[in-house]
Structure 1
Amino acid sequence: MREKDRPSQCCLLLEGWACRYRMLGDGKRQIFSFHIPGDIPDLQSLHLKVMDHSVCTMTAATVAFIPHEPLRKLTAAFPGVGAILWRETLVDGAIFREWMTGMGRRSATGSIAHLFCEMYVKLEAMGLARDHAYKLPPTQQDIGDALGLSNVHVNRVLRELRDNGLITLQNHKLQINDWAELSKLGGFDPTYLHLEKRDG
């Protein structure tokens, strides 16, 4: 899905990772969000005719395409479904606000710590992470493009987090060794994700 496309369907991510982004005139990329299985990264296209950003997969992925017209009929016939989709767009907005706060006010270390915590909580809620460990496909460049940091800066922060024993990152698998300290460092409060805690 590319900027200025006029899509006729939404994409449900079943497996893999995706991201939303924009390319700037100088060739730089700004990533707005990372997406995991269960997300519909282009849900806004149901009501906005023209895409103002692009969506791409970051890994091998399985996706389901849902045509707009049947989806509109479904939400009209079943208002509860419409309410669920509306809630998803509200949560999406809350995540955008949190990312904006991070890029504007957090240190580079705090921003990366916050991102790692956010992705763990989202993945854990989907049953895709446990014991503070998960697969992290984004590269250092991807992380930099998401947080407005240079590749060198990201590398330095990751080394600092490793040296302090907070994380282990190897072969795109992240292990958070000290959740309390990492979440404190990132000022992470999961309220904005609006996820209900699972029992156990």
Structure 2
Amino acid sequence: MLHEDRFVDLPPAEVYATLLDEGTYLCSIRTMYRVLAANKEVRERRDLLRHPVYAKPELLATKPNQVWSWDITKLKGPEKWSYFYLYVIIDIFSRCVVGWMLADRESATQAKKLIAETCRRHGITPGALTLHADRGAAMTAKATGHLLADLGITKTHSRPYQSNDNPYSESHFKTLKYRPEFPDRFGSIVSGSPPPPVDEARSAAS
């Protein structure tokens, strides 16, 4: 009955009510649901976006150069709304910074250069390294993925909106930015020094 043309797109409650109006009682609404469920025909009928289930990454390193973690953080530039971007790769076994770069933008092209150079400098062989990152644009870009595949590096990513899936890089950046000598702003990408006070800048300009 539920497969009839007039009922195939209706919920069991409407089918039940229609049949009662016609003087027919077959079973309860709950039984109709059980029959549909037994045949795997109970599901959400609306066209909803279904998110895949992501497993929590498990990173384990027993020696150096087994697992690296990398991320990008913003550093305030000399003016409001100006930023520099600090790329950092750390070895999760030793927490040692194995590679870093300061750039004026965040991009997969910049990330590729840093990863390739860091792997070359540390003599990473294909199949030896796992590189973990969050799901930022530079991390999930095709260019970055192709480079890792060419180098024989296994890549892993954090779950969406789960910053604690990349605790090594997040902890590193927090330690860096909470140091007493860390400046509020940086004067230039070349010197890395903080900008001069306003009064000094005005006197220099005059």
Q: Shorter-chain TM-score category? A: under 0.3
**Which has the larger Rg?**
2
Q: Higher helix share goes to which structure?
A: 1
**Higher RCO (CA < 8 A, seq sep 6+):** 1
- TM-score, normalised to structure 2, is 0.26
- TM-score, normalised to structure 1, is 0.26
